Amino acid sequence: MALQIMRSSADTMTSHERLLVMSFDEITIDPRVAYDSTDDAVYGPNDKMQVVMVRSLCSRWKQPVFFDYNKDVTKDLLHRIIAAVESAGYVVVAMVCDLGPANRKLLWSPKAADGLGIDPEDGFFAHPCDPSRKIFTFADVPHLLKLLRNHILRQGLQLPGGPVIDKKVFCNLLEKDNSEFRLCHFLKWKHITVRGQECQRVYLAAQLLSERVAKAVSHIFGDRYRKEAEFIALVDQAFDTFNSRHVSDGKLHRSAFGLAHTIEDQYSCLLKFTKVMRDARVVGSNSMLPFQKGFVMSSTALRGLYSAVQRHHGLSYLLTSRLNQDCVENFFSQLRGMGAANTNPTAVEAKNRLRLLLIGAAPTVAAATHDDPRESGASVLLEEKEPTYLSATTLDLDHEPPVEPEVPDADVTAVENLVTARQPCPGPAASAGAAPPPASLPSGATGVASLSRQALAYVAGYVAAKCATVDSTLGKITSDASEVPRDERYAWIDTLSRGGLTVPSARWLDEVEQLEVLFTTMHGGDVDRGPGVVRRLAEAAALKFPQLHPYVLRKYAMTRTQLRVREIRRLIGDRERLRKEQPTCSREAKRARLYVHPGDL
């Protein structure tokens, strides 16, 4: 049915909308034998379901075209699926999969009967319908990022001509940057001690190997970890290049691949990253590991695909997030979510859920059970709109409106989800879209101001940006703030900003430091559990600074309270982590460690 629908829809699409990326992956299912009354057949025992999906390279639609149980994708099967899709009027230009053992055999096996024989340095295989055409092949980059993170933390990675980067860098960063106001506010011990299902969450790897962490390492340790910081920054740029979701973005490498003002930097980043992956060695290994070959292959394929679609199809840029497996991962998340508490369907249940998804007008209904989209295997930033299933769009069926997941309080979201906030490019309307970065420590031998005061200046800039419409004197964006007097408290903002963060005025920053004393006087090391906690803080601040606008004081009080709540949660989480890591001891000692007295926070 899927191919029949695709065939009937092909005439309504432009040639660009019919350019396809094919992806495939498998989902674990309940292996119990089950009877299907629709087919009058018994299925099982099957513990895996393989799904092949196509999605448009230039449009927002996707469509599963094949599924089967306990079946690997072979060369013959792949060729038959490609031929069927092409016969329906579409053009397959790329393919993506993860690097499981069966897929590695398919991609890289030199035997003509077993595999495609792809050379990672080429990144393509000949099109089965037209040998003069190429299908460019990608390894799923979000999966590769997780593998890179795992090898760095577990074995260490010997950088070419440089040091070994391992978990020690990140442990030292957390030990230094370890109080309520921190430079890397999102970084926690769970980023380093990932285990079990946490290893599958891409956002943990993306946060650990991010530009902000690279800048914090360089800012705190200087030349001690200079090479490590440069590598982390390079990984962040490469991941952005492989994961662009918008034509233009505040981060240069996260813009669409191929734009006139980005292509040179993106090409240079890919070439440099490819060389590092080719020459680096995981400690204990003398050759490239599969994830390194995957990075090399994906980098080569991206450059080759861009040249091919530009020359043959007239495309001027690519949104590279459409070249990963997010569409399949989201499909699996929806498939599991349709069963509410039953997230491990049998073969029959999985087949029936798949059919419902294909005719559903709102596929997000199935995923509404997830509180956080990052809990799935999908990469960090979800698209503004998920691609719809072509079959549902074509059939145009009437459905109940989707159930929207609960939206958290705006202030909580702003303060806690800073890693996903985009910093605007320099311009007249730019301001700090990110929330506060906590951090602190007394100033060290370098003689700079304490990290805590630098992070507090960032918080002051955040509040100033949010209140710019009621009081523009609180601060200016960095690209327009050359005349703002600067001291060492502004060092972190100057290090982090690309021109869009807000620099608080000296007057406002002094007032925020006095408000911090007021907050500590009211709450000590904890936070008052009585009602009106934000209101009372705002009223006390108004008595101290009656000239400030009430909205400014309310925003400060809300932000500061949320920071304290987050700090309490972090400390409780750290204690729980230490409890799990320590050996078994007496029941009394366990109780003593589990109990967190408010005064200890």
Hey, where are the domains in the chain?
Answer: 1-139+322-363+386-396, 142-290, 447-581
* Start-end of H helices in 387-488: 390-395, 410-416, 451-466
Q: How far apart are CA 91 and CA 15, in angstroms?
A: 9
HSE (CB half, 13 Å, CA atoms) of 334? 25
What's the pLDDT at 443? 37
What's the pLDDT at 583? 55
What's the pLDDT at 187? 92
What's the pLDDT at 393? 63
Provide the residue type at 270 as one letter: L
Angle between helices 226-242 and 211-221 (to 10 degrees): 170
* Start-end of H helices in 113-225: 141-154, 167-176, 202-208, 211-221
Contact 330, 367 (CB under 8 A): yes
What's the pLDDT at 403? 36
Q: How far apart are CA 301 and CA 122, in angstroms?
A: 7
Per-residue burial over 507-521, b if 16 or more Cβ lie within 10 Å, else e, is ebbebbeebbebbee
What's the pLDDT at 343? 86
Write the pLDDT tens digit of every residue in 36-57.
Answer: 888 888 988 889 999 999 999 9
What's the pLDDT at 385? 59
What's the pLDDT at 118? 94
Write the pLDDT tens digit of every residue in 189-214.
Answer: 989 998 888 888 999 999 999 999 99
- Mean pLDDT over each residue of the chain, to the nearest integer: 83
Joined together, the tokens standing for residue 194 give 């990932």
CATH of span 1-139+322-363+386-396: 3.30.420
Write the pLDDT tens digit of every residue in 248-290.
Answer: 988 899 999 999 999 999 999 999 999 999 999 999 999 999 9
Contact 102, 72 (CB under 8 A): yes
* Start-end of H helices in 280-368: 290-313, 326-337, 347-359
Write the pLDDT tens digit of every residue in 340-362.
Answer: 888 889 999 999 898 888 876 54
Q: How far apart are CA 292 and CA 408, in angstroms?
A: 39
What's the pLDDT at 378? 40
pTM for this one?
0.81
* Start-end of H helices in 479-545: 491-496, 506-523, 533-544
Q: Is the dihedral of CA 281, 282, 283, 286 positive or negative?
A: negative
Beta bridge partners of 212: none
What's the pLDDT at 402? 37
Cis peptide before 64 (omega within 30 of 0): no
Write the pLDDT tens digit of every residue in 93-123.
Answer: 999 999 999 999 999 987 767 789 999 999 9
Provide the residue type at 444 as one letter: G
Contacts of 145 (CB under 8 A, 6+ apart): 202, 205, 206, 209, 235, 239
Residue 516: closest CA among 551, 484, 548, 561: 561
- What distance lies between CA 203 and its chain's CA centroid? 4
Q: How far apart are CA 117 and CA 110, in angstroms?
A: 5
Residue 6: closest CA among 391, 360, 328: 391
Beta bridge partners of 475: 504
Contact 94, 57 (CB under 8 A): yes
Contacts of 90 (CB under 8 A, 6+ apart): 6, 10, 18, 19, 20, 54
Q: How far apart are CA 467 and CA 478, in angstroms?
A: 16
Q: DSSP string covering 184-200, please?
A: STT--GGGTS--GGGGG
What's the pLDDT at 406? 35
What's the pLDDT at 173? 95
Joined together, the tokens standing for residue 345 give 């369907």
Q: DSSP string covering 340-354, please?
A: TT--S-BHHHHHHHH
What's the pLDDT at 468? 93
What's the pLDDT at 457? 93
Q: How far apart are CA 124 and CA 299, in angstroms?
A: 11
Collect the ranges in the chain with pLDDT lower than 70. Answer: 112, 360-386, 391-449, 483-484, 581-601
